[in-house]
Structure 1
Amino acid sequence: MSQPETPARTAMEQLLHTLDLEKLEENLFRGTSPDVGWQRVFGGQVIAQALVAAQRCVAPDRHVHSLHSYFMRPGDPAIPIVYQVERIRDGASFATRRVVAIQHGKAIFSLSASFQIEEEGFDHQLDMPDVPQPEALMGEAQFRELLLDQTPEPVRRYWGRDRPVEFKPVSMDHYVSKEKLAPQANIWVRTTGPVPDDRPTQAAVLAYLSDMTLLDTSLYAHGLSIFEPTVQAASLDHAMWFHRPTRLADWLLYTQDSPSASGARGMTRGSLYDRSGTLIASVAQEGLIRKRANE
């Protein structure tokens, strides 16, 4: 009698599986990458896996409040990534960890993260921009049906597959136009499945989605996209500050702007707000945006 087939994982279940690192030894972990047809590992995955490794080497009462990372080499999705954690410091209130991601015997990525116990203190934030609510915007299914045929093949491939994060951009102009637009974006984002109710996992998933759409914003002013075959684009570094916890149970507004592009690099800043307007996290990233040599 044949055994029933195991149901395929949803995209969100696959992400959670990807973030559940295997412990090899004290301070040493191994992670794998899902087969999504990409030639290199998505940067947000490496950030999130490195953060998971760091979190597993701190006391449970210490929560990440910031991370700073550098991408050194493209990750190979065909082989595991080894994450080596260095316990830099444990103080009365803060702890610091450094993580190096290794493939083929070489470092491909490094992350430094700081963790803090819960403390009371001064509290203020900038207001969330006044934008349409996600229910008033075109969903991904509508976008695919109405606009995908008009977009370049890489964009169709990117939007056409199941992903653990759903997007609702306030404006679709840059997806269908070559016009030079202001280098800023407001995008509603949410996970496509439930996230466990624990802060380390929620922080890792937030770090994962924070790497999405950022680099593209630095190209809006030039009428280009990271999907353009004439553009060579790659993340160089990524920093993130976790201001307030979130359960990731609803839409978040990801506001982005690119204050500068020069020297074949584009810099983008981002803020993540929950639906009520609470500022959850801030992000900054610089990426390579270079015209290919044959252009």
Structure 2
Amino acid sequence: MRGRSWTATRRPVDRRMDGAIDTNRAAPITAGGVLSLDRLAEGRFRAWHTQANPAGALFGGVVLGQSLAAASATGPGWPAHSLHGYFLRPGRAGQPVDYIVETLRDGRRFAARRVTAQQGGRTLFHMHCSFHEPESGFDHQAPPSPDMPAPEDLIPMDRYVANQVDRLPPSSAAYMAPFPLELRLVEPDDHFLRPTDKPQRAFWLRMPSAAGVEDDNQQRALLAFAADYWLAGVAVGPGRLSTNRDALTINSLDHAMWFHRPVRVDQWLLYVCDTPSGSDGRGLARGLLYDRAGRLVATTSQEALFRATT
């Protein structure tokens, strides 16, 4: 069955790049902000809403989500089933990002797009993504761990950090500020306070502002945005204290994602992440995203560069 095609937002466009700063960039981006794109021309879009990462640069999840939203706006309306992207250079939060979409294929069952994200004429990101008209066939998946606690049984991230603020590194205070996502770690002490030999992390996430989004590809674009949170950090590896993480800079190098089933990002999703390897200054992270019914909705992978700040 064909999904509904996505239509980009149309409004008067200020074509000036210099000085076009979003004065509300300190506020958390919403689902509407991620999805809001101005159509400049055929296959060209501009996004005005951004989000900073902890280092103050443009958060890569924004570029992922907006790239997929732009590609979906040119497609046949079929669900996105995969994306593969490379982060080429950092962007600036608070400045608009342009997305150029090229059609690689429009077949009977598959459509493919290439997206280039640019800021001030500089290329930040390249992505290939593919769309597939659903077909009947087999259905199987890896099940989630049966002993994962429900999100209602876990402490909200902002409350946990507020309770432990005297024991945490300064950067942790960011979790007490308004945030686009609700996050609840399964083992928050393992992440923040104590070393662990587990090369993995599990947490629940949701984006309440996505409640009014009905289009399946828009929900998948929001999932691409959300799935970039906390994925690379697990690749720091076992035995690392969170207090050491403030001495590291983490730069995402690439990102891949496979969408298996329809998803609602405004509802709780369990994100189970692990790291199979880290070497030569790079670490690989993988993630499985499950809904409350235990359905595997997406798989992610990302390699990141880790460098000491001193």
Normalized against structure 1, the TM-score is what? 0.90
Secondary structure of the equivalent of 2:139? coil
Letter in 2 for 1:238: H
Alpha carbons of structure 1 residues 118 and 12: separation in structure 2 relative to 1, 3 Å: farther
**77, 89, 92: which one aligns with 2:105:** 89
1:25 and 2:38 are equivalent in the alignment = no
**Residues in 2 aligned to 1:20 and 1:227: alpha-carbon distance in whole angstroms:** 37
TM-superposition CA deviations, 1:41-100 (whole Å, max 9, x none): 10000000000110001012x110000000000011232111100100111100000000
**Is contact 1:174-1:223 (8 Å) kept?**
no
**Is contact 2:105-2:113 (8 Å) kept?**
yes
Alpha carbons of structure 1 residues 18 and 250: separation in structure 2 relative to 1, 3 Å: closer
**Residues in 2 aligned to 1:250 and 1:31: alpha-carbon distance in whole angstroms:** 25
Secondary structure of the equivalent of 1:218? helix
**104, 118, 121: which one aligns with 1:102:** 118
Alpha carbons of structure 1 residues 110 and 225: separation in structure 2 relative to 1, 3 Å: farther
Secondary structure of the equivalent of 1:146? helix
Alpha carbons of structure 1 residues 122 and 153: separation in structure 2 relative to 1, 3 Å: same
2:17 aligned residue:
none
Normalized against structure 2, the TM-score is what? 0.85
**134, 154, 172: which one aligns with 2:171:** 154
Secondary structure of the equivalent of 1:181? coil
Letter in 1 for 2:106: D
Considering only aligned residues, what root-mean-square deviation do their CA atoms show, in Å? 2.2
TM-superposition CA deviations, 1:86-130 (whole Å, max 9, x none): 100111100000000112322110110000112111110011112
1:165 aligned residue:
181
**Residues in 1 aligned to 2:283 and 2:212: alpha-carbon distance in whole angstroms:** 32
2:252 aligned residue:
235
Report the Cα offset of residue 34 of structure 1: 3.8
Secondary structure of the equivalent of 2:143? coil
2:96 aligned residue:
80
**Residues in 2 aligned to 1:49 and 1:128: alpha-carbon distance in whole angstroms:** 29
Which is further off, 97-106 or 12-21?
12-21
Report the Cα offset of residue 246 of structure 1: 1.5
Q: Any gaps of 5 or more consecutive residues in structure 2?
A: 1-23
Secondary structure of the equivalent of 1:276? coil
Q: Map 1:238-249 onto structure 2 (within 5 A).
A: 238-249=255-266
Report the Cα offset of residue 225 of structure 1: 4.4
2:226 aligned residue:
209
Query: Identity of counterpart residues, as a percentage?
Result: 38
**Residues in 1 aligned to 2:42 and 2:105: alpha-carbon distance in whole angstroms:** 16
**Residues in 2 aligned to 1:155 and 1:35: alpha-carbon distance in whole angstroms:** 17
**Residues in 1 aligned to 2:37 and 2:50: alpha-carbon distance in whole angstroms:** 13
TM-superposition CA deviations, 1:200-242 (whole Å, max 9, x none): 2101111111101111111141414498332121100000000
**Residues in 2 aligned to 1:36 and 1:74: alpha-carbon distance in whole angstroms:** 11
TM-superposition CA deviations, 1:140-189 (whole Å, max 9, x none): 343133123321111112x0111121111110123432524311011111
1:191 and 2:207 are equivalent in the alignment = yes
Alpha carbons of structure 1 residues 95 and 278: separation in structure 2 relative to 1, 3 Å: same
**Residues in 1 aligned to 2:208 and 2:256: alpha-carbon distance in whole angstroms:** 24
**Is contact 2:50-2:96 (8 Å) kept?**
no
**Is contact 1:186-1:256 (8 Å) kept?**
yes
1:121 and 2:137 are equivalent in the alignment = yes
Letter in 2 for 1:214: L
**Residues in 2 aligned to 1:140 and 1:75: alpha-carbon distance in whole angstroms:** 27
**Residues in 2 aligned to 1:145 and 1:164: alpha-carbon distance in whole angstroms:** 18
Q: Any gaps of 5 or more consecutive residues in structure 1?
A: 1-7
Alpha carbons of structure 1 residues 227 and 242: separation in structure 2 relative to 1, 3 Å: farther
Secondary structure of the equivalent of 2:162? helix
Secondary structure of the equivalent of 2:179? coil
